[in-house]
Amino acid sequence: MRPAVTEAIEDWERAWNDVEEAAVAAMTAAFPPLDHTKTPRYCCDVMLSYEKDGLGSGRLCIDNEGRGTVEFEDIPNDVIAEAIDEVFGIAWLTNADGPLDECGPGTYYYDEETTGAEFEVTLGEDDKGKLMLSYVRVPDAATILDALTRAAEPDEEESAELVGAAT
């Protein structure tokens, strides 16, 4: 291979590594419980995971196209509903006729035709739900994760207030 081509490929690889690092920084800033985890051979370049009492568990992958896939479960339904309604607006998702917290248990989704991203929210019967995002641009995934983090904060503050009042 000609030296100029080798150098160009190396430049591209350095730039791509910078993009991956920036994606990880965006995701962990948006959802602080996320941390690096071992990535299976069959999976994407970068995998982050979390497990947190009261906020469920899950993983997030950043693929070699710069897209995120989020698989979170056992998240309180009200936290999911607040975050998704904030980001998408009321009744944006298919099967939702109003605010998600009023729609009740079920699966709600949206497929973005332009980017190919898929958004799926399941509100469970046991007040715990799932958030599944596939092929989502990093800024869009980070926006949703930040809304999820902020929606969970009042619950944490309320719990702290209850503990403080009991002592």
User: What string of pLDDT tens digits covers the 167 residues of the chain?
Assistant: 999 999 999 999 999 999 999 999 999 999 999 999 877 767 788 999 999 999 999 999 998 888 999 999 999 999 999 999 999 999 889 999 999 999 989 999 999 999 999 999 999 999 999 999 999 999 999 999 999 999 998 655 554 554 454 45
Distance of CA 43 to the CA centre of its chain: 17
When divided into structural domains, the chain yields a total of 1
pLDDT score for 154: 67
Tokens coding 165: 């009042």
128-137 and 118-123 beta bridge pairing: antiparallel
Which residue range(s) make up the domain with 128?
A: 3-166
- State the pLDDT at residue 158: 52
Each residue of 120-155: b (16+ CB within 10 Å) or e?
bbbbbeeebbbbbbbbbbbebbbbbbbbbbebbeee
Residues β-bridged to residue 110: 119
Q: What pLDDT does 162 receive? A: 44
Q: Whose CA is closest to 46, among 29, 66, 26, 75? A: 66
pLDDT confidence of residue 163: 46
* pLDDT on residue 67: 92
DSSP secondary structure letter of residue 94: B
